[in-house]
Amino acid sequence: MAMPAQQINHPSPRGKNGPARPPFFVGLFNPIASRLLRGGMPMGPNALLTVRGRTSGLDRTTPVAVVSIDRRRWVIATFGETNWARNLRAAGKATVTVNRRTEPVAARELSTTEAEAFYRDTLAPYVDSIPLGLGRFLLGSLLGAKEMLTDPQAAAQHHPVFELRPATSTGSPVDEAPPAG
């Protein structure tokens, strides 16, 4: 049986072929979250991310959590090499929609070294600041991404991180931000 052309022609730079599979409930939750977010309902750190498909060229929209700390923003591929992460890597730009407001952004994938520092020095303290251990429960138990908090080196290998910056009309970033960490 032959592999689909997409898997042959677009292998993941992280060493896996094909997109990752999120837990079953994500397929149930995403359509509901998308409708609520599209309607302007605030849902914590969640936003709609619209990225041009790397093979179809069509815009693809999915709900994602945007980590915002000290006027910087990141999106994390919590479930690994998902299609939205592969599309964002290929496009380098996207649109983020929050409260019915859209913003074009430039996206830069962090290197493995930068991602490791991000998980250790930025994400872990942020998650630990969420009251009642709710952040650790959501990320570690419910979403199955415990290594983001316990093993930053492994997390950097399996969960791509993209920094988002406001984009100009040409799609380039407005300014260069220092590396995460």
Complete domains list, the chain, with CATH: 19-166 (2.30.110.10)
User: What is the pLDDT, as a whole number, of residue 17?
Assistant: 57
User: What is the pLDDT, as a whole number, of residue 147?
Assistant: 78
Residue-wise pLDDT for 61-72, tens only, equals 999 989 999 999
Contact 32, 91 (CB under 8 A): no
Q: Is the model more confident about 102 or about 12? A: 102
Q: Is the pLDDT of residue 155 over 60?
A: yes
* Average pLDDT taken over every residue of the chain: 80
The owner of tokens 């359509």 is 31
Residue-wise pLDDT for 76-105, tens only, equals 998 889 999 999 999 999 999 999 999 999
Cβ within 8 Å of residue 100, ≥6 positions away: 38, 39, 40
Contact 167, 174 (CB under 8 A): yes
pLDDT confidence band for 10 (50 / 70 / 90): very low
User: What is the pLDDT, as a whole number, of residue 63?
Assistant: 93
Q: Is the model more confident about 129 or about 58? A: 58
User: What is the rounded CA–CA span in Å between residue 78 and residue 100?
Assistant: 24
User: What is the pLDDT, as a whole number, of residue 173?
Assistant: 64
What is each CA distance from 67 to 1, 25, 78, in whole angstroms?
A: 41, 22, 12
Q: Is the pLDDT of residue 28 over 90?
A: no
Q: Is the pLDDT of residue 73 over 80?
A: yes
pLDDT confidence band for 175 (50 / 70 / 90): low
What stretches of the chain adopt beta strand conformation (E)?
Answer: 46-52, 59-69, 72-76, 93-98, 101-109, 161-166
